[in-house]
Amino acid sequence: MIRRHVVVRGMVQGVGYRWSLSREARRLGVHGWVRNRADGAVEAVAEGPDEAVAGLVAWCRSGPGGAQVSDVEVTDEPPEGLTGFEIEP
């Protein structure tokens, strides 16, 4: 079980990025949350099996069709035992 904090920069708001990321997280069995930041980035926490979280982070590097990702910052954090995946405002 691992936990990663992810910040995605580029044209990632207003293109369905949060919704698409949450759908992909649920498909992979990853728990956590995703939200828009005031600086235009999208921020997420992903927690789950190593391979599933790595798959979600890889997905973040391209995102949904309308996104233009310029940078993905990933930080490891201690797992908290999250359940479900939430889209926050």
Q: Which domains does the chain have, with CATH numbers?
A: 2-79 (3.30.70.100)
26 included as an active-site residue: no
- Res 89 pLDDT > 90: no
pTM here?
Answer: 0.96
Radius of gyration of the chain (CA): 12
Q: Which of 9, 18, 23, 61 is catalytic?
A: 18
Q: Which of 9, 23, 35, 36 is catalytic?
A: 36
Average pLDDT score over the chain: 97
Q: What is the mean pLDDT of residues 29-44?
A: 98
35 included as an active-site residue: no
Q: What is the pLDDT of residue 44?
A: 98
Which tokens sit at 13?
A: 């708001």
Nearest-angstrom CA–CA distance, 67 and 29: 23
Q: What is the mean pLDDT of residues 45-74?
A: 97
